[in-house]
Amino acid sequence: MASVQQLSAIKDAKVLMVGAGGIGCELLKTLALSGFQDIHIIDMDTIEVSNLNRQFLFRQSHVGQSKAKVARDAVLRFRPKINIKSYHANVKDSNFNVDFFKQFSVVLNGLDNLDARRHVNRLCLAADVPLVESGTTGFLGQVTVHIKGKTECYECQPKPAPKTYPVCTITSTPSKFVHCIVWAKDLLFAKLFGDKNQDNDLNVRSNDTATSSEHSEDIFEPRKDEDIQQYANRIYDHVFGHNIQTALSNEETWKNRNKPRPIYVKDVLSDEPIQQNGNVDKLLANDNLSSLSAMAYLGLKNPQDIWSLKENSRVFFAALKLFFSKRQKEIGNLTFDKDDPLAVEFVTAAANIRAASFNIPLHSLFEAKGIAGNIVHAVATTNAIIAGLIVIEAIKVLQNDAKNCRMTYCLQHPSRKMLLMPVEPFEPNKSCYVCSETPLLLEVNTNRAKLRDLVEKVVTSKLGMSLPLIAHGSGLLYEVGDDLGKDEVANYEANLEKVLSELPYAITGGTIITVEDLQQELVCNINIKHREEFDEEKEPDGMVLHGWTPAAPAAENNKEPTDNNGASTSSTSKPASADVMEADDDELSIVEPGVETLPAGGKKRKLSDVPNSEAPIDEKRAKKIPEENNVIVMLDDGNDDDITAS
């Protein structure tokens, strides 16, 4: 039974919810039933069919509509007297600024990406509004409380853990199915359907190809008088045949590895000429692009079946032909989307053909989609538990009862006979550049690096600033904003191409620059240290930033992926389904969202030394903390070679 004080705090509170998805639906319902009278919801997403199995406020008839608006309407049907305001918008929009956040008593996050979480964290700090964070993945969940000056902020500790693979592993020596997925999604799919001008290592995989005029050309450029089938055959033979054959010419590479086998069209489909497949032509008559499916006309109905090499090849050709015949206008601008059936079919087929070449076990479309699209099969009960914990902590915050706030972790298996593990909040990290305003140190060659490098490699990518301003003393070097005049924009654009030491207000060794985000109201100072040389392999950016919280390094593993009731349980400390981005010319980074880490030894200082307080969660359990809703998260259960997607 709630006390009078609690009821008063609840009734008077004005709450901002960010996110109306899996956690958000449960949270809005729990807030309404707990007596909250004034609730605002921000969510930019629309409802998809895949949401309906757990986001219970939505129905089939709501597909395509705003999540925030439908959630509001659904709750008002059983709590008609409370005030709920919905915003179908991005929380990073300029109208959701510090002044907007200041009107709320507490902010409750139910987001699914790190960038938005960091943004909300900074706005809450600037507005001095408490933030309750949350995340779930499968049976795991967490709720954390962030109060300015009293507890650590969301960015006091590193969040994502990057895993890098050398490009040569992806393109020449894959040993895991994740390598094949990365190759198919971020190299082959991007080369065929994305920006043709992007750097890509697929054309030739040998230094001795200049003697072959056929392979010195851009193999991915369609030739004159070449139909789609001929083009598809040529691409197939090049990437699965010629490139493998070329790689085999380097005997040194295969001394301690199993040699792959080149695969050509004639070897797989010699008994079934592809150009005579009439099913494709039937599908071409369908103008509904969203329903295009290579599986449909091939009679492949079960996405959990593992296709043979022949079936994968047929899907590859059919999907490629459909893209070029029915979606021609999109070619050149496409990026992989897990919700695009044709894209998923193409990537699955291409990855499986490559896997077959390298003697790697094939996977079903269901598994491949999970790996390629960051899919975790959500558990509605976990969302409900986490939503309840969010409300419990929010009520404590509203009563100014910070000493009794807890970070709570929902575990899949009991620890100390508990499935819910409460931990005292940690105090602010004094070296956090976000909440403690500690200066950063940047080592950079000021005679070689341009301002553009500083903006792209540090200010936006590492510091996560959306509307950055860079100043040296009283001199303004760069600014982004809608209120700038044409002359100002031109001036700042010109500065981007100048070397740091040649800027109007020169940046050299010993300089202190100020970097500010106008929307987040975040300001940090960066001390510049000139350095001549950098290790291209270890320091690919050509600059090193000290004082921020980079991702914790992930360990390598050597196990092959396995499956668990259709969910990917692949590889180790890296979820195979993690986002992949090209970091530089030498390696690909696989970002593992959602790995919470502790300092060495798993110890942190506490906000207070409360007698008989709960013992801190140990390091292995801390690594089980999910940070993303609907992403795969590394689990450390004592076996460094397992990763589970619940």
**CA pair distance 126, 96, nearest whole angstrom:** 13
Task: Identify the sign of the CA torsion 94, 21, 367, 290.
Answer: negative
Residue 229 CA from chain centroid, whole number: 35
| Tokens standing for residue 162 | 């990057």
Active site residue 124: no
| Tokens standing for residue 267 | 């070897």
Task: Identify the sign of the CA torsion 67, 70, 74, 79.
Answer: positive
Please state the φ and ψ torsions of residue 515, each to the nearest 5 degrees: -115, 130
Pairing of strands 38-42, 14-18: parallel
How many CB atoms neighbour CB 116 within 10 A? 18
Please state the φ and ψ torsions of residue 431, each to the nearest 5 degrees: -100, 5
From residue 408, how far is each of 155, 228, 488, 629 by CA, in Å? Answer: 18, 56, 49, 16
- Residue 79 CB-density burial (10 A; 0-12 exposed, 13-18 middle, 19+ buried): middle
- Residue 253 CB-density burial (10 A; 0-12 exposed, 13-18 middle, 19+ buried): middle
Helix, strand, or coil (residue 522): strand
**CA pair distance 176, 576, nearest whole angstrom:** 9
Catalytic residue, candidates 124, 168, 180, 410: 168
The DSSP call for residue 426 is: B
Helix, strand, or coil (residue 41): strand
How many CB atoms neighbour CB 48 within 10 A? 13
Report the 3 state secondary structure along 298-364: HCCCCCCCCCCHHHHHHHHHHHHHHHHHHCHHHCCCCCCCCCCHHHHHHHHHHHHHHHHHCCCCCCC
**CA pair distance 367, 338, nearest whole angstrom:** 12
**Residues belonging to the active site:** 168
